[in-house]
Amino acid sequence: MCFSYDDDSDLYARAQSFLADGAAAGCQLWWIGDLPPPAGYVTTAVSISAAYPGNAVIDPEAQLRQYAKVTSAAVAAGFTGLRVVAQATPLVRTREQLDAFARYELLIDRYMATHPFSAICAYDRRELDSSAIDELACLHPDTNAPVPFHLHGCPPDGGAAALTGELDMTTDELFEVTLGRLSFPGDDEVVLDATGLRFADHRALWRMNRWAAEHDRHLVLRGAGRATARVVDLMDLPRLHVEAIA
Amino acid sequence: MEFATGGDMYARPAAAIRSYRQLLADHVAAGAGQIRIIGELPASAFGPTWDSWMRYESAINHAYDDFPLWSMCAYDRRTTPAAMLADVDRTHPRQARPDGTHPAIEAYADPESYLAGMRPAPPDPLQLTPPVADLADPLPGRARDAVRAAGHEGISRDEIEDLVVAVSEVVTNAMLYGRAPIRMRVWSGPDRVVAEVTDTGPGPKDPFAGLLPIGPEGPGGRGLWIVNQSCNHVTMARDPDGFTLRLTAGVPH
């Protein structure tokens, strides 16, 4: 999940219950960040400024491989999985960092959906502006920062990613930024699990069609509502397709 | 010669324009150099939705300019009330007489001035009862929730969802192009849900707004057209206090 905080004690409170649940479930527990780990649970603590000096830009694929390796090692060592609290603020300070981190989020969400790995990504609101927090929050399925829509990784059989919530003029800018960071491997159609997409106005649909055209892909909203299908049909958006719910 | 049933062609005015434009484009693509249409409005047009059909009749004097079309609208003088025939005169430049002549109609108003007139339709009787929702300056999401909450078993889920789409676009337009304060009210009756959105601005400048399609150049700009494709009745009214759009899902009254 994405957890933003402006008081360290809020982070500790949330992290402790997350880690306690993980300990009870037999997970290996990692603490990544510059704050000291809470007493008791943590098996491994990593300083983030040591791991990522300066304004390092994350390598999404390499980071994913790293967590996959650690998760496998934890399971091999007899744990049920890996559970991580990562204070990721130093990794999302610049636009370039945010772009890379967004791609990483989609990869790690997908990995989490099918592997015994779970994490809290913690962001310090005192160091990031609110638009950066929103840009991160909407990439997580679960967050304490309320955003009207989410675009996050999902199990592979659901699609390339899941799009949930409501899209309208109030989310137009955020959605444009989020779409701009999306890239999926391959050259075939990109299926989004849209069963949780409650509403998308014609601007958002136009933006999705344009994304598909710019990437030379076709975008499929699987499980969206019939009203969305009707609007797409009306607007003549050749790159956007809706497989509506029955 | 092609025959289309009125019910299919004339479900909603803006949808009729869309269907006709497609039909005309198909004929031109197939090599037609000249197309002639005789059309007759269905009986349902001669009721509460009459105002929107007269806007349609006025708009189509311009809506098919890019096609080689001659068209004639048939009205039965024996059954059409005099007040309605007066509206027909205002929206048709010429009258076809049995002797083959086509004299100009003096009362004809060009579409720009007719459509800019926005004569308000009579209120739906439901509007004389207390609304189920009365929102001040709603964001689109709140407007959508109000319509979802007003749905009931007398009206299909699809119709409510189409009204949700329409209300969202209307409130968005009011925020982007209109002027605050914005007020939205919703009424719910046995066979319909009515939503009305008023802002204190002057309304759209383009007299054809909502009736004619706009190209796919930018992310916005097609809201009012989608509204007109999605609702069974759309009325527009402009008065010194502002601009009001009324949308009906279900059976217009």
DSSP per-residue string spanning A59-93: -HHHHHHHHHHHHHHHHHTT-SEEEEEEE-GGGSS
Q: Under 8 Å CB-to-CB from B218, ≥6 apart: which residues?
A: A206
Q: Under 8 Å CB-to-CB from A174, ≥6 apart: which residues?
A: A131, A134, A135, A138, A147, A149
B8 pLDDT above the threshold of 90: no
Nearest CA in chain A to B217: A206
Which of B155, B226, B232 to mutate: most A Cβ within 10 Å? B226
Rg (CA), chain B: 19
User: Taking a C-beta distance cutoff of 8 angstroms, is the pair B101, B119 a contact?
Assistant: no
User: Looking at residue A16, what is its pLDDT?
Assistant: 93
Residues of A within 8 A of B165 (CB-CB) are 199, 201, 227, 230-231
pLDDT tens per residue, range B129-138: 999 999 999 9
User: Looking at residue A188, what is its pLDDT?
Assistant: 86
User: Looking at residue A71, what is its pLDDT?
Assistant: 96
Does B176 contact A169 at a Cβ distance shorter than 8 Å? yes
Residues of B within 8 A of A168 (CB-CB) are 140-141, 168, 172
Does A227 contact B222 at a Cβ distance shorter than 8 Å? no
Q: Output the average pLDDT for chain B.
A: 93
User: Looking at residue B216, what is its pLDDT?
Assistant: 64
Q: Which of B168, B216, B218 sits opposite A168 (nearest CB)?
A: B168
Q: Give the residue, B153 or B57, on which the prediction is more confident.
A: B57
Regarding the domain delimited by A156-244, which CATH topology (the fold level of the hierarchy) does it fall under? Transcription Regulator spoIIAA (3.30.750)
User: Looking at residue B121, what is its pLDDT?
Assistant: 79
B interface residues, A as partner, C-beta within 8 Å: 18, 139-141, 144, 158, 161-162, 164-165, 168-169, 172, 175-176, 216, 218-220, 222-223, 226, 229-230
Does B158 contact A168 at a Cβ distance shorter than 8 Å? no
CA B210 to each of CA B67, B99, B225, B237, B244: distance values in angstroms, whole numbers, following the listed order: 20, 38, 4, 14, 14
Cβ pairs bridging A and B (under 8 Å): 62
Among the listed residues A242, A189, A239, the one whose alpha carbon sits nearest the alpha carbon of residue A214: A239
Q: Which residues of chain A have pLDDT under 50?
A: none
User: Looking at residue B118, what is its pLDDT?
Assistant: 78
A interface residues, B as partner, C-beta within 8 Å: 148, 166, 168-170, 172, 199, 201-203, 206-207, 210, 225-227, 230-231, 234-237
- B113: exposed, middle or buried (Cβ count in 10 Å: 0-12, 13-18, 19+): exposed
DSSP per-residue string spanning B154-177: TS-HHHHHHHHHHHHHHHHHHHHH
Chain A nearest C-alpha distance from B229 (Å): 8
User: Average pLDDT in the B68-88 region?
Assistant: 94
Domains recognised in chain B with CATH numbers: 6-117 (no CATH), 125-250 (3.30.565.10)
DSSP per-residue string spanning A214-230: HTT--EEEEEE-HHHHH
pLDDT level of residue B220 (50, 70, 90 thresholds)? confident
Q: Give the residue, A55 or B115, on which the prediction is more confident.
A: B115
